[in-house]
């Protein structure tokens, strides 16, 4: 069993914010800017009563194998108290391919559910009331097409689009910067996003049209400050793109949402969420001139940090997830996903998913954390951290602005390099033993501790999905599909909004891969730089 060196007195935290042994009122000057919850700049929360009025949505991220298997998991979780769905798609779907495409081989259903057609989407939400359960879909490059499938399913069920509530991630900028599941170059990708903004403003008014993600930026190794700055810079880029195509920012901004990582440093994470609200409120009000208070509110989903989970001693992950979930709640999240203890090894089993959900429920109903608004507001340390993170994030946002915004910062490789450097520094601290990871580089059991049962996706899933897809293609009206695909091609070559064409095409039987192939032929495929400056 290994033990860490004697605990050192850290001069600064992982974001390089100076630390002292004790903080006093003079360190908490930021408190004066905090205001009241439910009022600008929303540092203390977006609603006056926060969880006393309504708890956060417990939205467990799930999806694997086939649509039928994932549907079974959704209904299992809903029956145990989950209050919203969050769909994980496989890499094949995320990259806009059908399950029988050559690049799909070996990946179908492995890290999420395989969705090729509207038939799969109907199966995915079988016996789930789409007008009463909110749905979040973690999909980016082809987000508009997956949303079109959901809308077509709702229309077939006779559900008004006005009754649909949920979110699509639809955040492609962080894919270029941190994750890699992009398809098209930035300019046409941004057009697809603003098409969704415009269409949903008219047709699906309660839908959150984008979830601007700092989560994956943090998972790629960024600091908390970088997560704040790069995510909010991306958000500015999306809102500016909406304005540039003639949309009213006060129409678009209330339907923007955010997706943050809940990492290990409890107090820094709480301060990060509070800092995010004040920076965004100031950006939207002062830079974009929004007058609707709903535009100023930063609403966010949080997910506990997958990158902190360990394959060694996986039961320790339950403790990590609990601390991270508490940070999200004390920081004022609107919805939350808690990771399973086994996710460093495989997709979570049903039992692990249930335990992760129970973690949220215990925080909500037993910890007292939801009893008052902003319970750590006024803490000298939390207010100090809030002010420091806000100031450092603003300085980094100014650097991005000086480059012309997120797109130039990404295309030059600058943003990626900043994240990579931070990731390298963090790993070096772990390897030197300066950052303790319990059960890995300190207090480690020989052999990695006890083993646990794992969820496995069998190879037969791919064969069965391909067979269903080919049978679906054989049943459909091929001439009708060809006509709808031709309409997409024509619309893509013009400036027309593509969303109506997508809804009609998927309803006619066009597959995800077929639609993306049409768009690849017109927009091209993004090729990143080989090396960053």
- pLDDT tens for residues 419-436? 999 999 999 999 999 899
pLDDT at residue 533, as a whole number = 42
Range 104-131 average pLDDT: 96
Q: Does 479 have pLDDT greater than 90?
A: yes
Q: Is residue 503 part of a domain?
A: yes
- Per the prediction, the chain carries an average pLDDT of 94
pLDDT at residue 446, as a whole number = 82
Q: Does 448 have pLDDT greater than 70?
A: no
pLDDT digits (tens, 9 = 90+) for 60-82: 888 999 999 999 999 999 999 99
Q: Which domain holds residue 476?
A: 469-523
3-state secondary structure 175-210: HHHHHCCCCCCHHHHHHHHHHHHHHHHHHCCCEECE
Is residue 169 a contact partner of residue 126, using CB atoms and an 8 Å limit?
no
pLDDT at residue 531, as a whole number = 43
Q: Is residue 513 part of a domain?
A: yes
Q: Is residue 334 part of a domain?
A: no
Range 156-165 average pLDDT: 97
| 451: confidence class by pLDDT, cuts 50, 70, 90 | confident
3-state secondary structure 354-374: HHHHHHHHHHHHCCCCCCCCC
Q: Is residue 185 part of a domain?
A: no
Tell me the whole-structure pTM to 2 decimals. Answer: 0.95
What percent of the chain has pLDDT above 90? 89
Q: Is residue 509 part of a domain?
A: yes
Range 265-280 average pLDDT: 98
pLDDT at residue 455, as a whole number = 82
Q: Is residue 476 part of a domain?
A: yes
pLDDT digits (tens, 9 = 90+) for 168-217: 999 999 999 999 999 999 999 999 999 999 999 999 999 999 999 999 99
If one counts the domains in the chain, the total is 1
CB-based contacts of 524, cutoff 8 Å, min separation 6: 184, 185, 188
Question: 5-9, 13-17, 518-522: which has the minimum mean pLDDT?
Answer: 5-9
pLDDT at residue 2, as a whole number = 56
Is residue 111 a contact partner of residue 159, using CB atoms and an 8 Å limit?
no
Q: Report DSSP state, residue 89.
A: B
Range 293-322 average pLDDT: 97
Q: Is residue 504 part of a domain?
A: yes
Q: Does 532 have pLDDT greater than 50?
A: no
Q: Give the sheet arrangement for strand 166-168, strand by strand.
A: 207-208, 166-168, 135-138, 84-88, 57-62, 335-337, 300-304, 256-262, 210-213
Q: Is residue 490 part of a domain?
A: yes
Q: Does 32 have pLDDT greater than 90?
A: no
pLDDT digits (tens, 9 = 90+) for 343-374: 999 889 999 999 999 999 999 999 999 999 99
Place of tokens 């003639």: 246
Which stretches does DSSP call E strand in 251-399?
256-262, 300-304, 335-337
Q: Does 449 have pLDDT greater than 50?
A: yes
CB-based contacts of 283, cutoff 8 Å, min separation 6: 232, 235, 236
């Amino acid at each position: 069993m290994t033990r860490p060196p004697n605990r050192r007195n850290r001069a600064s935290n992982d974001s390089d914010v100076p630390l002292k042994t004790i903080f006093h009122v003079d360190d908490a000057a930021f408190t004066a800017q905090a205001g009241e919850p439910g009022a600008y700049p929303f540092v203390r929360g977006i609603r006056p009563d926060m969880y006393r009025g309504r708890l956060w949505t417990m939205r467990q991220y799930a999806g694997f194998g086939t649509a039928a298997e994932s549907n079974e998991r959704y209904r299992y979780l809903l029956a145990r108290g989950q209050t919203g769905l969050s769909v994980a798609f496989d890499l094949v779907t995320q990259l806009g391919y059908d399950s029988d495409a050559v690049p799909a081989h070996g990946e179908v259903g492995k890290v999420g559910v395989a969705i090729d057609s509207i038939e799969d989407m109907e199966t995915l939400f079988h016996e789930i009331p789409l007008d009463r359960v909110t749905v979040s879909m973690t999909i980016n490059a082809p987000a508009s097409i997956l949303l079109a499938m959901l809308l077509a399913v709702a229309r077939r069920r006779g559900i008004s689009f006005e009754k649909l509530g949920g979110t699509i991630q639809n955040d492609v900028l962080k894919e270029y910067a941190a994750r890699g599941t992009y398809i098209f170059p930035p300019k046409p990708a941004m057009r697809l996003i603003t098409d969704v903004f415009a269409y949903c403003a008219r047709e699906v008014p309660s839908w959150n049209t984008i979830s601007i993600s700092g989560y994956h930026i943090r998972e790629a190794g960024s600091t908390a400050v970088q997560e704040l700055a790069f995510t909010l810079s991306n958000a500015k880029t999306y809102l500016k793109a909406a304005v540039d195509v003639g949309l009213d920012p006060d129409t678009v901004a209330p339907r923007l949402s955010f997706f943050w990582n809940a990492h290990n440093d409890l107090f820094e994470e709480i301060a990060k969420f509070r800092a995010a609200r004040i920076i965004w409120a100031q950006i939207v009000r002062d830079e974009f001139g929004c007058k609707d208070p709903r535009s100023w509110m930063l609403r966010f989903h949080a997910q506990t940090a997958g990158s902190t989970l360990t394959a060694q001693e996986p039961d320790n992950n339950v403790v990590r997830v609990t601390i991270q979930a508490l940070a999200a709640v004390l920081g004022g999240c609107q919805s939350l996903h808690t990771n399973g203890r086994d996710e460093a090894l495989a997709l979570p089993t049903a039992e692990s998913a249930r335990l992760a959900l129970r973690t949220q429920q215990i925080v909500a109903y037993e910890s007292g954390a939801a009893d008052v608004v902003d319970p750590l507001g006024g803490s000298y340390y939390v207010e100090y951290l809030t002010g420091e993170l806000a100031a450092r994030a603003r300085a980094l946002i100014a650097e991005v602005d000086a480059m012309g915004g997120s797109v130039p910062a990404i295309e030059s490789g600058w943003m990626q390099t900043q994240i990579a450097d931070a990731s390298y520094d963090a790993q070096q601290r772990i390897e030197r033993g300066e950052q303790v990871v319990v059960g890995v580089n300190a207090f480690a059991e020989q052999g990695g501790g006890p083993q646990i049962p794992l969820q496995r996706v069998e190879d037969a899933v791919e064969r069965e999905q391909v067979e269903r897809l080919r049978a679906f293609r054989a049943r459909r009206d091929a001439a009708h599909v060809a006509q709808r695909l031709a309409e997409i091609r024509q619309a893509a070559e013009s400036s027309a909004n593509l969303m109506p064409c997508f809804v009609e095409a998927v309803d006619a039987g066009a597959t995800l891969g077929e639609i993306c192939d049409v768009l690849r032929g017109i927009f091209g495929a993004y090729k990143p730089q080989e090396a960053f400056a």
